[in-house]
Amino acid sequence: MATGLHNITKIRRMLASTAPVLVTGATGFVAAEIVRQLLEAGYSVRGTTRNVARAIQDGHLTDLPGAAERLELVEADLVEPGAFDEAVVGCEYVIHTASPYVLDVEDPQRDLVDPAVQGTLSVLESAAKATAVKRVVLTSSFAAVSGGAKDGIWTEKDWNTTSSLDSGAYAYSKTMAEKVAWQFVDDNDVPFDLVVINPTGVLGPSIVSRVNQTHQIFVSMAHGEYPGIIGIEFPFVDVRDVAMAHIKAMENPDAGGRYITSAGSRSFRRLVELARDQGWGEKYKLPKIGLDNSVGNAVVKFAANFQPKGTRDFLKGSVGKTYELDTSKITGELGIEFRDLDVSIGDAFSDLERWGHLEPETSAPE
């Protein structure tokens, strides 16, 4: 018994903090994986959610190993002033992930920009009041780095300068939220430093049941919602690597600035190939017609005019584009080794089936 106690004490001494780590938006796709990895590492976690009762009823977080002993859930709303004041008390590290991620919304300012910007400011203001906070790790997005095509390689020095409320509202919301965060730290004498993670499309096994925006691509593909194999390339990263990046950014005292987080890119055609390799071709209505050519690109861009605005902006801004990203900063400074992307995509396919998000065809399409 004494030996076990000694081992626990030894493990906890290796942690960045024995105080609870605050994770905002804890029931989100990325946040839930961060919570899981923090608990697995031995940290105490305080997670915020808009509805604690629902989170407990769902059980996705409370059933995690270590949750009964080291997870506390508290309510906080992004757009309520001072909502995080109590949640941050006693915490030395804050991981702020909470932000809406949808493409098609009724009011971009109300539904995307305001929650992202006001929520970020609210968390930072609360962290500034609670003088124990040493570092805030912010989940931004590659969308805050890239607003479109570029001749060359994307690095952390790049900023999205082309998105707006009228075009690419989600990317605009992430850009504005991150800029506000850096401005807040620059303008105020805060007791903490800021580190930002900029992931590309996040995929992989999910702790929570909801379909995130990246996985929706696969759901739509399986349900025959795409007219064919379109000429789009997606930069992706595994959710497990994104979570680890946040934790390493929290733990490493030398971490600083922004970190592009991506395992690479895959074409839509490759996604279809991987889906067929996994047996989806026998169960779901995968696209077959090749539109990943100059004529097909023109057809898709024209058809995009009849889609909801968010989807329309995404298609027009992505068709025929490729992405080359420099991830040397995160691999060098934080030691992140990204999972094989094809494996991560396969895990995402399996996870969607596990959660029951796919509706098989009544008869095989081939």
Q: What amino acid positions are annotated as catalytic residues?
A: 174
Burial of 110 (0-12, 13-18, 19+ CB in 10 A): exposed
Tokens read off for 154: 């994307």
207 in Cβ contact with 261 (< 8 Å): no
For residue 50, CA distances in Å to 25, 75, 80, 306 come to 8, 5, 11, 35
The span from the CA of 78 to the CA of 100, in Å, is 10
Tokens of 82: 């001072």
Contact at 8 Å (CB) between 89 and 37? no
Rg over CA atoms, the chain: 21
Q: CB of 75 within 8 A of CB of 54?
A: no
Cα→Cα distances 46→31, 88, 104, 120, 208, Å: 12, 9, 31, 17, 17
> Which residues touch 330 (CB under 8 Å, ≥6 apart)?
245, 259, 260, 261, 336
Give the Å distances, CA to CA, from 247 to 11, 198, 310, 324: 16, 14, 32, 25
